[in-house]
Amino acid sequence: MSNDYLWLLVIGMGVVTYVPRMLPMVFLKNLNLPPSMKRFLQFIPYAVLASLIFPGILTSVDTVESAIIGGLVSVILSLLRVNLILVVLGGIMGVFISEQMFFG
Amino acid sequence: MSVSNSEVAVQPLKNHFLQGLKTGISIAIGYIPIAIAFGLLARSADIPNYVTLMMSFVIFAGASQFIGVNMIVMGISYWEIIITTFILNFRHFLMTASLSQRISNAPSKKLLALLSFGVTDETFSVASTQNERELHPYFVIGLNLIAFLSWNVGTWIGVFLAAGLPQSIQNSTGIALYAMFIGLLVPTLKKSRPALVISLIAVLIHSGLHWITPLFMELSSGWSIIITTVISAAIGVVLFPAKEGEQDEQ
């Protein structure tokens, strides 16, 4: 297949990404859902966040060890309720320092 | 009265929007290095620059863009690439369904359609962990916009400027988005028992899908997240049923 039609592929990928994002937002918004369904939707963020974090974090950087150290730094900082940006920078620093010192 | 009515009406919208932009800064920190990496990868794979830039502008979904480039290089048919993209990103359906219940002010369908374009794992995570029960649509638009801009700016940097950051720092930024997810999730675990239990269940199920299912079948990361989320949230509903007249779980 020639590269001339890559733009068409990109548009196709864009459409199949956008439609599932858009449909519930536009059509569920004003529906009166049963309480258990509302509850289900309310619980989705926790389940999504937890599955995004683990086990993906383990392979996010060069070594599993430095990923764990970076992750722990972020957990400690978020338990201390510091600003989210510091949690992110702290995680990066944790990985950076541990790679330089131990696992690099 | 020195302030006109129109100013009174416009001011809060602008504030919500600016608040959204500000709240999204941590997403931008995570996105820019990944988008740079995407730009670099696409360039090294000889994808025409306009296609790479268009991908970030039209698709705006990190993992599927990386995988898309990979599949293009492997010469896989366009249909297969599109179906893979659909499966990978269908999880956003659950996220916008959840988010739709928290948008305030009954905005127009057009505004909701615009806002939903920017729903990613990261913008959803930040929006849905805000303390306010009701989210102003302009807050979400501001949040999504800074994420979208940083993703696109990062792609441009990757395509045109190549490697700027020293390699050792580049290697460390892989953890940025995970650190952000931790920063969003951990505080809610302290406040809410359902959140803690559901998160632990999700970690268990997702680990099982990650390490055990590959032994006998192939499961995309998109499906793993969808399955984990549906099961964990459903168990949550069974364990912590809604009480009469309750607003939220805290």
User: Cβ distance A88 to B179 under 8 Å?
Assistant: yes
CA distances from B111 to A9, A25, A81, B80, B115 (A): 27, 10, 33, 32, 6
| B9: confidence class by pLDDT, cuts 50, 70, 90 | low
ipTM of the complex: 0.89
Tens digits of residue pLDDT in B178-193? 898 899 899 999 999 9
> Does A68 score more than 60 pLDDT?
yes
Q: What is the mean pLDDT of residues A50-70?
A: 93
Report the pLDDT value the prediction gives residue B36, as an integer from 0 to 100: 87
In three-state secondary structure terms, B36 is: helix
Report the pLDDT value the prediction gives residue B247, as an integer from 0 to 100: 47
Q: What is the mean pLDDT of residues B104-113?
A: 88
User: Which site among A7, A11, A16 would you substitute to test the B interface, given the most B Cβ atoms closer than 10 Å to its Cβ?
Assistant: A16
> Does B126 score more than 90 pLDDT?
yes
User: Which site among A5, A6, A17, A87 would you substitute to test the B interface, given the most B Cβ atoms closer than 10 Å to its Cβ?
Assistant: A17
Rounded to two decimals, the pTM is 0.79
CA distances from B225 to B145, B167, B206 (A): 25, 31, 7
SS (H, E, C) A32-60: CCCHHHHHHHHHHHHHHHHHHHCCHHHHC
Q: What is the mean pLDDT of residues A63-82?
A: 95
Burial A66-84 (b: 16+ CB within 10 A, else e): bbbbbbebbbebbeeeeeb
What is the Cα–Cα distance from A42 to B240, expressed in whole angstroms?
Answer: 12
Highest mean pLDDT among B68-72, B132-136, B172-176, B233-237: B233-237
Residues of A (80-99) whose Cβ lies below 8 Å from B: 81, 84-85, 87-96, 99
What is the Cα–Cα distance from B27 to B147, expressed in whole angstroms?
Answer: 6
Least confident interval from A77-81, B90-94, B221-225: B221-225
| B248: confidence class by pLDDT, cuts 50, 70, 90 | very low
Is B184's CB within 8 Å of A84's CB? yes
Q: How is residue B33 written in tokens? A: 């290095």
Q: How is residue B221 written in tokens? A: 């990361």
What is the Cα–Cα distance from B16 to B179, expressed in whole angstroms?
Answer: 25
Report the pLDDT value the prediction gives residue A2, as an integer from 0 to 100: 58
Choice between B17 and A42, residue whose per-residue pLDDT is larger: B17
Q: How is residue A82 written in tokens? A: 């510091």
User: Which site among B29, B117, B172 would you substitute to test the A interface, given the most A Cβ atoms closer than 10 Å to its Cβ?
Assistant: B172
Residues 6+ apart with CB under 8 A from B60: A17, B117, B118, B120, B148, B151
Tens digits of residue pLDDT in B12-28? 889 999 999 999 999 99
A20 reaches B (C-beta below 8 A)? yes
| B1: confidence class by pLDDT, cuts 50, 70, 90 | very low
User: Cβ distance B236 to B197 under 8 Å?
Assistant: yes
Mean pLDDT of chain A: 90
Is A54's CB within 8 Å of B117's CB? no
Q: What is the rounded (10 degree) CA torsion for B204, B225, B97, B25?
A: 100
Angstroms from A26 CA to nearest CA on chain B: 6
Tens digits of residue pLDDT in B195-212? 999 999 999 999 999 999
